Amino acid sequence: MRLKQIILLVFVVCSMGVHADEGMWLLGNLNKQTRQAMKELGLQMPADKIYSPRKASLKDAVVSFGGFCSGVVVSEDGLVFTNHHCGFSSIQQHSTVEHDYLKDGFVAHNRSEELPNPELYVRFLLRTEDVTKRVLKATDDSMNEAQRTMAIDSIARLISDEVSRKDSTLVGVVDAYYGGNEFWLSVYRDFNDVRLVFAPPSSIGKFGWDTDNWMWPRHTGDFSVFRIYSDKNNRPADYSPENVPYHPPYVAPVSLDGYKEGSFCMTLGYPGSTERFLSSFGIEEMMNGMNQAMIDVRGVKQAIWKREMDRRDDIRIKYASKYDESSNYWKNSIGTNKAIRKLKVLEKKREMEATLRQWIQNTPGEREELMHLLSSLELNYKSRREANRALAYFGESFVNGPELIQLALEILNFDFEGEEKQVIAHLKKIIEKYEDLDLSIDKEVFTALLKEYREKVPARYLPPMYQTIDTLYNGDDKAYVDTLYARSEITTLRGLKRFFEKDTTFNIIEDPAISLGIDMLASYYDMNFEMREASEKIERDERLFNAAVRRMYADRNFYPDANSTMRLSFGTVCSYSPFDGAFYNYYTTPMGIFEKMRDHQGDPDFEVSPRLLELFCAGDFGRYADEKGEMKVCFISNNDITGGNSGSAMFNSKGELLGLAFDGNWEAMSSDIVFEPELQRCIGVDVRYMLFVIEKYGEAANLVKELKIK
């Protein structure tokens, strides 16, 4: 009886203003309705303290971390908190069998020990500006979609160049919103000297690994710590031993007060992409094309990688980062397709489209322009269905498959005439691929993916190498792959060196791997060309569809789809019931870690270091415990997030840091397409657990002293 009362109370709390909780809002365009909704949920700070283009505000503490994650600045000396999985690649690059920072963690005891990461940068947003009128002025109704895109790209480049001409340390980016109906300029400043300061061992930062990924309850200490460096004038600078810690205009304060059921929670970060306005035809294509290709192909590739990673430590270190990146979106695709079916997302979208169709027919101005909009979408998606699906499998099987092909494509795209800095960076990227490559594993992957692609697509989409395999190798994929790797010069750094030194005795185009790369590009181009006409019409119709939906529901408060620009989402800390008879609390504790260790005995993904277990058993959590003396590890809110939000700051009503967002939940994996307020949850690691690990486990109290703790 008590459980039912608790669940009822949770639904009452979480259903208050559920529409307000949905949305990834532009900070520079927070309307009165959105600001009021935030206040009603408990926000205690004015909007100009969150975002201001003229004075220091909360947004100045939030960064895009490497262009693929988010982070938050927490000290006056440029310390940045982000997720462990966001820093994973950097941690892996510094790891060796002798110094295994992935397994053992890393602590810089002083600033001279902080490790540089030449390819890593952080990006600060300075301001945003609506440039829609200026951009659309460059277009007219007589243009087809390709011409319109070209005109928009040209004016966008012009606007961006104006920013950097005024200040060479600034970057201007014009992004499309609402399906290409609006355009905003974002002005950024990038810092390229970012150093690793602290990383917990993977047994903390990746506790549960693939099994727990996208799941709640969660017990993962998914965080790492970096520091931003600048020149002596506090300006951006490339790495140099002479650089000094960056002093930001705003530092996010840290709260040790925690949260309760229904507490206001606000997330600031850089969500990657959502498709909330996509038509049902586009959703169906995504399910059967890109998502299914990712599920099938990555499943094959990752099984080979994981087997070898479990056998050898050197392979585990080499392949850890690429496995982590690959498996994350593989499991995401599995969950997304499952959730779309279970939550009847397509059916709901089609109901809305039926309403839209009726509205168009009943509205004279709309009827004249859009009478055949939905029919056109249906026809053109159907026209490109087969080619689009083949292209998805092609991309996963070959472009994103064997690393030999990836190397061949990197070499073919190498620009000797580029800026020296870019040439060096590109060269380093290629060399790093060699360092993390095992040829025997790559050959096995290539052989397996040849078979997988052949089974999944019609014969007319097989590239020329399949004819070679059938005629010269009697259909033996392995014999073909073995010969290819044996004959290619670019399987080793020696061949790469001959290429870069422009050895006149080495004709790179005649190398069999390079020739294969050229064939792959031709096949990729052919499939895209087959879809060109349909794709242009789809792009136009989806833009018109997006605008029509907003006009039909003109009284609603619309937010644009995520597009890797800074967004704010807000809601409450909130438990949920994923299915009948189940109730998930809004936080987890170390007790859950012990329980998972017991339930997964012998599984290395759930191993915990004896030292951490000792600290848990001692129960000396100090000021990081709650009022009951308990340590909270992770918590959930109904904030609206997606990929790219990893590492996003989760703030309380006063703009104080509660933790870092690092995941969504399995039951709402269709969230990129539709928001489900009763199910969707944002999983965060509690900042108090982070500080406990840093101070007690890592013995790095000096880092904690840098923070502004409330």
Question: Are residue 153 and residue 201 in the same domain, yes or no?
Answer: no
Q: Which of 518, 534, 552 is the last residue of a domain?
A: 552
Q: Which of 552, 581, 614 is the last residue of a domain?
A: 552
Instruction: Report the interhelical angle of 477-487 vs 439-456 (nearest 10°).
Output: 140
Residue 679: CA count within 13 A, CB half-sphere: 17
Q: What is the pLDDT of residue 242?
A: 97
Q: Provide the annotated active-site residues.
A: 85, 222, 646
Q: What is the pLDDT of residue 376?
A: 98
Cβ neighbours around 623 below 10 Å, total = 10
Cross-strand bridge partners of residue 214: none
Question: Are residue 490 and residue 413 in the same domain, yes or no?
Answer: yes
Cβ neighbours around 221 below 10 Å, total = 27
Question: Are residue 184 and residue 111 in the same domain, yes or no?
Answer: no
Cross-strand bridge partners of residue 649: 268, 660
Angle ∠(355,356,359) on CA atoms, nearest 5: 90
C-alpha 275/C-alpha 290 separation (Å) is: 14
Is the CB of residue 399 less than 8 Å from the CB of residue 584?
Answer: no
Question: Are residue 399 and residue 516 in the same domain, yes or no?
Answer: yes
Work out the end-to-end distance of the chain between its first and last CA atoms, rounded to an integer number of angstroms.
Answer: 39
Question: Are residue 371 and residue 468 in the same domain, yes or no?
Answer: yes
Question: Are residue 470 and residue 612 in the same domain, yes or no?
Answer: no
What average pLDDT values come out for the chain (710 residues) when binned by 10 residues?
A: 38 37 91 94 95 96 97 98 97 95 96 95 98 96 93 97 96 97 98 98 96 96 98 96 98 97 97 96 97 98 96 94 94 95 95 97 94 97 98 97 93 78 77 88 98 97 96 97 94 77 73 94 96 96 97 93 97 93 95 96 93 94 94 97 96 98 94 92 98 97 96
- Residue ranges making up the domain that contains 418: 280-284+335-552
Token representation of residue 140: 């007219």
Q: What is the pLDDT of residue 505?
A: 65
Q: What is the pLDDT of residue 13?
A: 35
Token representation of residue 297: 């192909």
Is the CB of residue 397 less than 8 Å from the CB of residue 297?
Answer: yes
Q: What global pTM score does this model have?
A: 0.92
Is the CB of residue 261 less than 8 Å from the CB of residue 587?
Answer: no
**Maximal C-alpha separation, the chain:** 82
Q: What is the pLDDT of residue 504?
A: 67
C-alpha 184/C-alpha 618 separation (Å) is: 53
Question: Are residue 421 and residue 540 in the same domain, yes or no?
Answer: yes
* Total number of domains in the chain: 3
441 alpha carbon, distance to own chain's centre: 27
Instruction: Concatenate the DSSP letters of all residues of 417-443 into one string.
Output: TS-HHHHHHHHHHHHHHHHT--HHHHH
**Residues 161-200: pLDDT tens digits?**
999 999 999 999 999 999 999 999 999 999 999 999 999 9
Token representation of residue 488: 């290619």
Q: Which of 529, 552, 575 is the last residue of a domain?
A: 552
